């Protein structure tokens, strides 16, 4: 069983690492474009703050979350961008404060979720541990956009295991989002961890296999790099196809990044 407190600590650390990049920025830098089309650094932090608030609603008020889904229905393809756009108009200090409050509220709400409960979300319902895992993944992924915008290199940490785990677990979801039938057989995924050890999922004797550095795999499943720019190898036709579809996030598939975009 996943350790909720350990995941909450990782979430706090992931947020803190990103905050160390954005907190010292001049106001003008918050308007700097990131690799996500139309999104500035302010959009990125605003999106994280808003999503933490929505996740808190899902954890503490399922009916309220359902009302949000109903209201968002007519603009399902635009409401996330609209929320980021609205949030980005706040002064950086106010946006940082909103982000602080949102992630604290989320932590408190998830600690109060009864064991075994499932929380509603934009994708399949999930446990409290899965919810905070998704927040770690998204914070890391949007943090990569911010780091790319600022030309900052981040040091990979063991927190990537959560991102990679979601990437593996969402394999079938990624196929479904693309209107495809997921393969029936499990894949073997073997990744080199930042500390030099290995992380693995799936049967050792699986015919379909994916291998490479954990960082590259995480960049792949969050669509922060084009597959051609990553040292990820696939054995088997199905595994190779998955690398073109993978996404660890809920919602429609994104445009991703183009080959060679980051040199």
- Helix and strand counts by DSSP (H, E) for the chain: 11, 4
User: 7-34, pLDDT tens digit by residue?
Assistant: 999 999 999 999 999 999 999 999 999 9
Q: What is the pLDDT confidence band of residue 256, given thresholds at 50, 70 and 90?
A: confident
H or E stretch at 44: helix 41-60
Q: Which residues does 144 contact at the CB level (< 8 Å), separation at least 6?
A: 154, 219, 222, 224
pLDDT at 254 over 80: no
All structural domains of the chain: 4-150 (1.20.120.450), 160-245 (3.30.1050)
Q: Write down the pLDDT at residue 239.
A: 97
Give pLDDT, residue 263.
Answer: 77
Average pLDDT over residues 175-204: 96
* 255 exposure class (CB count in 10 Å sphere: 0-12, 13-18, 19+): exposed
Per-residue model confidence (pLDDT) at position 73: 76
Residue 211: pLDDT over 70: yes
pLDDT reported for residue 74: 73
Share of the chain above pLDDT 70, in %: 98
Overall average pLDDT of the 157-170 stretch: 97
Tell me which H or E stretch contains 196: none
Indicate whether 217 pLDDT > 90.
yes
**Mean pLDDT computed over 200-224:** 98
* The Cα angle at residue 189 between residues 183 and 193, in degrees rounded to 5: 155
How do residues 109-122 score in pLDDT, each as one tens digit? 999 999 999 999 98
Taking only the tens place, the pLDDT of each residue in 45-90 is: 999 999 999 999 999 999 999 999 888 777 766 888 999 999 999 9
Q: Give helix 4-22 / helix 92-111 axis angle, nearest 10°.
A: 180
Mean pLDDT of the chain: 94
3-state secondary structure of 210: strand
Separation CA 14–CA 8 (nearest Å) = 10
Identify the pLDDT of residue 1: 63
User: Between vectors from CA 52 to CA 167 and to CA 262, what angle results, nearest 5°?
Assistant: 50
Judge contact between 190 and 211, C-beta under 8 A: yes
| Mean pLDDT, residues 89-101 taken together | 98
What is the C-alpha separation between 76 and 53, in angstroms, rounded? 18
Strands, E assignment, the chain: 188-192, 198-201, 209-213, 233-235
Q: What is the pLDDT of residue 76?
A: 67
Q: What is the mean pLDDT of residues 165-191?
A: 95
Give pTM, 2 decimals: 0.95
23-46 burial, b for 16+ CB within 10 Å, e for fewer? eebeeeebeeebbbeebbbbbbbb
Output the pLDDT for position 247: 93
**56, 210, 48, 67: which is closest to 144 by C-alpha?**
48
């Amino acid at each position: 069983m996943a350790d909720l407190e350990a995941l909450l600590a990782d979430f706090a650390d992931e947020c803190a690492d990103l905050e160390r990049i954005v907190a010292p920025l001049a106001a003008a830098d918050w308007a700097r474009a990131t690799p996500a089309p139309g999104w500035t650094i302010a959009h990125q932090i605003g999106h994280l703050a808003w999503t933490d608030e929505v996740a808190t609603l899902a954890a503490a008020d399922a009916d309220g979350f359902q009302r949000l889904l109903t209201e968002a229905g007519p603009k399902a393809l635009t409401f996330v961008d609209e929320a980021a756009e609205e949030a980005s108009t706040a002064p950086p200090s106010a946006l940082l404060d909103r982000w602080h409050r949102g992630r604290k509220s989320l932590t408190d709400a998830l600690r109060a979720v009864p064991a075994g409960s499932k929380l509603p979300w934009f994708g399949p319902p999930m446990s409290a541990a899965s919810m905070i895992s998704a927040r770690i993944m998204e914070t890391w992924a949007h943090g990569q956009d911010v780091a790319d915008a600022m030309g900052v290199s981040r040091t990979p940490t063991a927190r990537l295991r959560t991102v990679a785990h979601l990437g593996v677990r969402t394999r079938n979801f990624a196929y479904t989002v693309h209107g495809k039938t997921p393969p029936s057989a499990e894949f073997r995924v073997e990744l080199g961890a930042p500390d030099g050890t290995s992380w693995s999922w799936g049967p050792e004797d699986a015919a379909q296999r994916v291998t490479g550095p954990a960082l590259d795999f995480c960049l792949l499943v969050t669509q922060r790099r084009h597959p051609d720019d990553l040292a990820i190898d696939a054995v088997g036709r199905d595994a190779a196809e998955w690398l073109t579809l993978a996404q660890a996030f809920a919602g429609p598939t994104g445009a991703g990044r183009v080959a060679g975009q980051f040199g």
